[in-house]
């Protein structure tokens, strides 16, 4: 899986022919490494007022004899953050390609900031690299159908940093994880149907320190993952659409001090099932596997960094929510892996069904784990995107809140351009999914869309808690288990364009920065 590798450079004196352009991302016209750049840019500004406002490409005595100045605008306002750098690099990627640049050397120079302001941008060079890689990424189908050197011609990106403070090994591992997540999420629904999704994961971790086991047997899935199997029922008659459970485990060398447990929603295509998506709303639903893709991406970075002390267990459910004679339907009552009777409220609320069974299995792992933290990753609700726009939504139970898990993710996300927003799980959410009869224990959903439902991204957390058996591990129980639901419906795709936007690899970055 080739991608533009970051290379750390600390001195420009020997780089005149190594790189073919010098890219300066800055809030001024000055450079720390080529002081004469400012004079050149100021002279050009006298005849072109766009200099300092839009990217400018000039001939100059710098590495590669080409200078591309990329302005980031004002950075001193309360609401400015490191995404200004990430987005500037991302938006410049196409200009770099169109200009024929193939080996860029990248500097980030942010002038005129106070110490407190500068602290918000301490990861600016990393954000610029990751933003550039986001802009350069092309879909897996394109890379397989065309010459990969033509479709993605940039193989390395130099990062000039005189103090040598950039850990490029870590940065390359992070981009490798984000790229795996983008490939899994962004690939069309036949190439990345459940078997293909599982195979891609197996190949990605072949020979690594992460073990990957795939459950393919229909009877086993029906018995051990009954809610997930119900979602998959209409897909089983088509062999290439049959569900897969992918279990990944990373065991560190030496003592374990923390255990992370991830459930990933991998709906490879979502028709809505019997509650069919209509009026064009089905387009883009091959990206409904972004949660499982994000977990796989985190595991890829984890495998490359091989940290000590942390054990990670992940279960991904790769399922197609098809429409057909055997589709599961509203009003069915299905008993979950945890023994909870679930009344189906809406078949287009399928992701929480499979997550509940995955979480129930991970709950069994967690009860004997060292310092466990459980998470579910999903493109779950349109409500999360409406409420928070392009930010990842976190919904915690009380044990997670007591440990400040969302607060930690928030703090790290602010510094790495992968921000999150915190929500709370409240009594109204549990009231919303409570049973209306003695025939069932919990209702999966109402029969309306989440975007028109009050607390539409919070109440699914209550369902997950009950249906997975995690409500037996509340803060006042003998064994509290911290659980955080991670909804990337707003952050998983660029510009919320589900049909055509690039997958972002979110929330790989914030979890890597928080836990690795």
Point out the residues that are catalytic: 277, 352
CA pair distance 319, 235, nearest whole angstrom:
8
- Cβ contacts of residue 474 below 8 Å, gap of 6+? 397, 398, 399, 480
How far is the C-alpha of 73 from the C-alpha of 85, rounded, in Å? 10
Q: How would you classify the pairing of strands 420-424 and 392-396?
A: parallel
Angle at 405 between CA 399 and CA 410, to 5 degrees: 145
Provide CB contacts within 8 A for 243, sequence distance 6+.
194, 221, 228, 229, 232, 235, 236, 317, 318, 319, 320
Question: 514 to each of 260, 391, 394, 419, 510, how far by Cα in Å?
Answer: 12, 16, 14, 12, 6
At a CB cut-off of 8 Å and minimum separation 6, what does 210 contact?
A: 248, 249, 250, 299, 302, 303
In whole angstroms, what is the distance from residue 511 CA to residue 491 CA? 14
Q: What is the largest CA-CA distance in the chain?
A: 79
The residue ranges of DSSP E strands in 386-471, in sequence order, are 392-396, 420-424, 442-443
Residue 473: phi and psi, rounded to 5, are -125, 45
Size of the chain in residues: 516
Tokens of 378: 């999903």
Structure tokens at 150: 């033509």
Q: Which residues contact 420 (CB under 8 A, 6 or more apart)?
A: 391, 392, 393, 394, 406, 409, 410, 413, 507, 510
CA angle 493, 498, 499 (to 5 degrees): 130
Q: What are the residues whose beta carbons fall under 8 Å from the beta carbon of 434, sequence distance 6 or more?
A: 442, 443
């Amino acid at each position: 899986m080739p991608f533009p590798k970051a290379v750390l450079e600390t001195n420009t004196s020997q780089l005149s022919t190594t790189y073919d352009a010098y890219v300066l991302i800055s809030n001024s016209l000055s450079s720390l490494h080529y002081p004469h750049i400012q004079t050149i840019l100021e002279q050009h500004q006298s005849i072109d007022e766009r200099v300092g406002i839009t990217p400018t490409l000039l001939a100059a005595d710098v590495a590669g004899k080409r200078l591309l100045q990329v302005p980031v605008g004002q950075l001193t306002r309360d609401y400015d953050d490191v995404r200004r750098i990430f987005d500037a690099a991302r938006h410049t990627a196409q200009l770099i390609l169109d200009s024929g640049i193939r080996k860029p050397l990248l500097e980030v120079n942010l002038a005129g900031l106070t110490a407190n302001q500068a602290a918000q941008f301490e990861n600016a060079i990393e954000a610029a690299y990751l933003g550039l890689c986001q802009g350069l990424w092309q879909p897996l189908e394109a890379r397989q159908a065309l010459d990969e050197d033509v479709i993605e011609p940039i193989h390395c990106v130099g990062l000039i940093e005189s103090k040598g403070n950039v850990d490029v090994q870590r940065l390359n591992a992070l981009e490798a994880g984000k790229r795996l997540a983008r490939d899994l999420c962004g690939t069309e629904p036949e190439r990345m149907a459940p078997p293909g999704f599982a195979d891609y994961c197996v190949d990605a971790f072949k020979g690594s320190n992460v073990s990957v086991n795939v459950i393919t047997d229909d009877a086993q899935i029906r018995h051990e993952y009954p809610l997930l199997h119900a979602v998959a029922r209409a897909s089983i008659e088509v062999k290439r659409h049959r569900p897969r459970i992918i279990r990944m485990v990373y065991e560190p060398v030496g003592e374990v001090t923390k255990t992370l447990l991830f459930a990933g929603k991998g709906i490879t295509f979502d028709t809505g099932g019997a509650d069919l998506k209509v009026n064009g709303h089905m387009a883009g639903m091959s990206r409904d596997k972004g949660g499982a893709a994000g977990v796989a991406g985190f595991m890829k970075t984890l495998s490359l960094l091989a940290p000590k002390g942390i054990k990670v267990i992940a279960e991904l459910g790769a399922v197609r929510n098809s429409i057909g004679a055997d589709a599961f339907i509203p009003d069915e009552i299905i008993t979950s892996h945890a023994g909870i009777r679930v009344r189906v409220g809406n078949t287009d609320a399928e992701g929480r069904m499979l997550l509940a069974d995955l979480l129930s299995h991970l709950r069994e792992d967690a009860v004997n784990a060292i310092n466990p933290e459980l998470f579910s990753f999903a493109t779950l609700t349109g409500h999360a995107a409406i409420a928070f726009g392009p930010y990842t939504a976190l919904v915690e139970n009380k044990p997670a809140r007591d440990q400040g898990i969302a607060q930690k993710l928030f703090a790290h996300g602010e510094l790495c351009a992968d921000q999150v927003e915190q929500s709370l799980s409240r009594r109204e959410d549990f009231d919303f999914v409570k049973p209306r009869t003695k025939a069932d224990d919990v209702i999966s959903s109402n029969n309306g869309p989440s975007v028109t439902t009050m607390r539409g991204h919070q109440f699914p957390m209550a369902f997950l808690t009950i249906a997975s058996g995690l409500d037996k591990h509340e803060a006042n129980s003998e064994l509290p288990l911290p659980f955080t639901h991670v909804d990337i419906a707003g952050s998983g795709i660029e510009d919320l364009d589900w049909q055509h936007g690039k997958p972002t690899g979110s929330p790989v970055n914030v979890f890597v920065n928080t836990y690795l």
